[in-house]
Amino acid sequence: DAGITQSPRHKVTETGTPVTLRCHQTENHRYMYWYRQDPGHGLRLIHYSYGVKDTDKGEVSDGYSVSRSKTEDFLLTLESATSSQTSVYFCAISPLGTVNEQFFGPGTRLTVL
């Protein structure tokens, strides 16, 4: 177990509402990532962070924002949720210098009605 937790694990919300997902790690790793996984698309990177207050966009960042004010927490916010953001969201972490070896959290299943 890589010491990663995600909350909530399941959420149902309505279109247009803001949603925040939390990823928490106990490993003190520098890199943290948010992915979404959809049938037919595999895992796609949304945003990642390479340190406190240091973040960058991934492949599918539109409609999402992130924040990292502490090493252990990485927040993903859907500013105004849409049905196309219904997905399973995974957080991952990796040590500095080995971004290929990532440890994933259990996932959050989000449904936007």
Partner 1 sequence: LAKTTQPISMDSYEGQEVNITCSHNNIATNDYITWYQQFPSQGPRFIIQGYKTKVTNEVASLFIPADRKSSTLSLPRVSLSDTAVYYCLVGDQTGANNLFFGTGTRLTVIP
Q: Given the rule CB under 8 A, which residues bind partner 1? A: 31, 33, 35, 40-45, 48, 50, 56-59, 90, 92, 94, 97-107
Identify which of residues 60 and 75 has a Cβ nearer to partner 1 in the complex. 60
Question: Is 78 in contact with 19 (CB distance < 8 Å)?
Answer: yes
Give the nearest distance from C-beta 5 to partner 1 in angstroms.
12
Give the nearest distance from C-beta 100 to partner 1 in angstroms.
4
Residue in this structure with the two tokens 């999402």, named with its chain if needed: 64
As given in the structure block, the two tokens for residue 55 are 């973040």
Identify which of residues 28 and 98 has a Cβ nearer to partner 1 in the complex. 98
Give the nearest distance from C-beta 22 to partner 1 in angstroms.
15
Rounded distance between C-alpha atoms, residue 73 and residue 31, angstroms? 11
Cis ω before 8 (30° cut-off from 0): yes
